[in-house]
Amino acid sequence: MCGRTACTLAPDEVSRACSYRNRGGRRRQPRWRDGDADKYRPSYNKSPQSMSPVLLSQRHFDKNAPVDECVLASMRWGLVPGWFKENDPSKMQYSTSNCRSESILQKKSYKDPLIKGQRCVILADGFYEWRRQEKGKQPFFIYFPQTQGPSQEKTENQDVPATSARNKENSVCPALESSPDLTEGGEAEGEWTGWKLLTMAGLFDCWTPPGGGEPLYTYSVITVNASPGLQSIHDRMPAILDGEEEVRRWLDFGKVKSLDALELLQSKDILTFHPVSSIVNNSRNNSPECLQPVDLNSKKEPKPTASSKMMKSWLTSSAPSKRKQPDTCESKEQKTKAQCKRTGAVQQWLQGANKKARTK
């Protein structure tokens, strides 16, 4: 399953990280749908009912848009079927945060959006999963192995399982070229060297309150059997779209029919992971400590992996003034509002990295 994610990039960074090549071979950055950039809030600990960045075809909103044009939208996690009759979506009596790939065609909530071509890609730094143990559960953060910079060369001493090695040529959200094309807005953008976003297959629907009101766009993450590398943690995992071509095919509902698109929903052994603190268990906790690796066999600071070093290095070099900060003041256990306002994402990450890692 997938019940918690993290997406810490600011809206403009999400757009840069998801550049894609159109059919003419030019690299584009997807625009945010009008007003949706303001609805999205970066977070180290996203749970169902929160708003997340979703990539989809612009033709869902404009039938005259180019067939290969993508757009970013903010959608609420937990699909609300368009036919739902209640005035309050919270009155749904079953969970739709996840959709099993095996039963998509058996349940009306998912079959209808699939047949209509309402396919989307949910974007995240990664997702959390919990491994059952004799005493409670141990959380892990699971994500694409990261590379250092646009060259897409493997970082030195990459500390990931052999079964999780990733083919870097099939980058899902590849960095821009050294001589980037112009965006649709006419601006030349620099190379994206930040965190490579995880791309998960999903379905979305649009629900309008029976009594009238603003339409609500919601989504469900499609899940498959866990890959061999993740089976020790959980028996299910999100359906991962690996590479720009898979993302393109999943979103191209005009050319790629529904049954053909389902063939993309495979268990892929391409992810890496590390254990994290139990602080993530409470969805109100929203700080860099949620992502920080911990050593399960020691109370000392764990030896950093190549991917965790890449995350820390990128956060340190990023300009905090350009990032929309996650709301880290939701829990009473955390700092006061005044303290949070003075502490940006970079400082919080560094403070967390200097603390002793927690173990369960």
Residue 186 belongs to domain with CATH number? 3.90.1680.10
- Spatial distance between the Cα atoms of 67 and 63, rounded to a whole number of angstroms: 9
What's the token pair of residue 290? 């949620």
- Which residue among 2, 7, 290, 340 is the active-site one? 2
Predicted TM-score (pTM) of the model is 0.76
Model pLDDT, residue 315: 53
Q: Which residues pair with 122 in a beta bridge?
A: 54, 200
Alpha carbon distances (Å) from 110 to 128, 250, 269: 24, 15, 26
Structural domain count, the chain: 1
Secondary structure E strands in 13-111:
20-21, 27-28, 31-32, 43-46, 51-57, 70-77, 98-100
- Spatial distance between the Cα atoms of 240 and 142, rounded to a whole number of angstroms: 12
- Spatial distance between the Cα atoms of 71 and 60, rounded to a whole number of angstroms: 9
- Which residue among 13, 129, 246, 289 is the active-site one? 129
In-domain check, residue 360? no
Domain coverage including residue 129: 5-354
Residues of the chain below pLDDT 70 = 1, 148-191, 298-360
Residue 281 burial (CB count, 10 A)? 17
In-domain check, residue 359? no
In-domain check, residue 251? yes
Tell me, yes or no, if 129 is annotated catalytic.
yes
What's the token pair of residue 37? 């950039």
Tell me, yes or no, if 2 is annotated catalytic.
yes
Give me the helices (H) in the chain, please.
11-17, 36-39, 108-115, 244-251, 258-261, 306-317, 337-342, 345-354
